[in-house]
A = this chain, B = another copy of it.
């Protein structure tokens, strides 16, 4: 009876073309009136010693991450009147300026899509076991912390 657990992980960056195609797939769903999208992009933060973040290398506790993502997904569908929900997160190396997180919600009226998208982003960052290792310009590394 359990619903199939979806894979949320993508190897490497999430391409803008993939996002465009994902949007295009919804044109047959003519009950949708609004889409809300959040994209996380790797920022070239300045670090100590004049170093800069060149890339982030993501790793995860895969089995737990997928279970948790599934739980978040089910709870969000329960809470908001959504037509669609898609979550994609990068694994492995993502260069500065590239996209590492793509959250996409759709609903008849705009409010559920917007509220669900915001809540998903917060929950993904807090509750899914993913770690980002920042690769600096001098090749040193630093474990990212979320604020």
Contact = CB atoms under 8 A, between A and B. Distances in A.
B20 A110 contact: no
A118 interface: yes
B108 A30 contact: no
Interface string A26-42: 11111111111111111
A39 B37 contact: yes
A44 B19 contact: no
Interface residues of A, number: 38
Interface string A52-91: 0000000000000000000000000000000000000000
A98 interface: yes
Contact of A32 (B27, B41, B106, B108): B41
A106 B121 CA distance: 15
